[in-house]
Each structure stands twice: as structure tokens, then as C-alpha cells.
Amino acid sequence: MSHWKRVFFGSVSKRQLSRRSAAASAALASANSAQEYEQVIARYPNTPAGADAYILLAEAQRKESKFTEANKTLETYVAKYPKHELVSTAKMAMAANLDSMGKTDEALAMYQQIASAYPNSYTAPLAMLSQVYILKVKNRNDDARRICETILTQYRTSFWASEAMQQLRLLKPITTTTPPPAAVPTVPPMLANPPAPAPQAPPAPNQPQSVPSPKKP
């Protein structure tokens, strides 16, 4: 094939891809249900709109409380598009689904992995803040406090820094080995028990009365 033929067919191929991508984008824009998102994925694979359809499909499944199905959709998306710009967002959604299913330990581990693997992404401080919510439920306030302090140090210009500050104010200080003295409750005077009366001397015994003498007839 000559050079000009390669240029010609290459330009045709690019135009076809452009038209296909445009059709995929139009189909995705008009889709509103899980079934329609699945149709975009099936008809337009390897297109930007086809990739985005996985995220929207997973969100539709989550709204129906189909958390397991949503995570399978996201796992497929991550495996197929590992370099896509929304991979960290997909993993955040997977962690949230695990949390919704009561798998808090798995969700916590995934949030930790996201914050470590994508430290420069916008999802990093959100992943750390999501850890704080789980740790508070587990009564691990010391760990939650440290994460809030890390967010304020490393991501102080982030949108989530203000939320981290608020959570830090709500958290109790780091516990010490010596517990604080127990507070003595004070009772208002009107509700206090009245004082016991002072003991009094016992009454004097009754003097015997004289028996009246019988009257004479």
C-alpha cells in the first residue's frame, strides 16, 4: 500500500471512530436506566462513553440496593480500563458499597488502599475522611483523630479539610492511662431528700389513776 493510500484509509478510520464515539456519547446522554446503560456498554465498547456507562450502571444498581451487582460492574470496569481517570472514583464507590453491606473492615481496608495508591488525587482526602466515619462507629476515636490531623496537614487546601476540622472538634482527646475522676452529680435543693428529724425524748409513762370508792347504799 502506498503512502497516500495509508494516509487516506487512516483518515477514514479516524472519521469512523469519531462518528462512533459521537453516537456513543449521544446514546449515553439519553440513557436513564440500568438496562439502557448496559445497551451502551454492549453497543459501544472501547469508547469513552462506553467506559463512563459502567460508572452510571453501577450507580443505578446502587440506588436499587444491588450492592453486590454494582461492585461486580465496577470490578469489570477497573479491569477493562485500569488507566481510566475515574478508576479511583470507581474504587471509592466499591468501598461505599461494602460499607452499605455491613462489611466495614473490607471497606476500611479499601479506603486505606485508595488513599495510599492515589495520594495526589481528589479522592485521597475523601477516602481518609471515610475512614474517620467508620473508625468512630468502631469507637476507635484515637485513630480517627490522627487521620483528621493528617488531612489538615497534607490536604489543608482540600474541600474536605473543613469537614475534617469539624470531625476533629467532635472527637474526644486521645485517651491517657489514668482515667479522669468520676463527676459527682449535684442534686437541686428542691429535689434533695429532706433531713431526718432530730430524735426526741420518749413521753413520760402515765400515772396510775385512783380507783373510785364504791358508793354507800
Ordered mean pLDDT values, 10 residues apiece, the chain (217 residues): 42 63 92 94 92 95 96 97 92 97 97 96 95 96 96 93 94 56 45 52 54 50
pLDDT score, position 18: 82
In 3D space, the residue among 27, 78, 29 whose CA is nearest the CA of residue 51 turns out to be 78
pLDDT score, position 192: 46
pLDDT score, position 46: 87
The amino acid that residue 86 corresponds to is L
Cα 52 off chain centre by: 24
- Name, in order, each residue with C-beta under 8 angstroms of 123's C-beta and a sequence gap of 6 or more: 88, 89, 91, 92, 114
pLDDT score, position 15: 60
Main-chain dihedrals φ then ψ at residue 212, nearest 5 degrees:
-65, 140
pLDDT score, position 16: 64
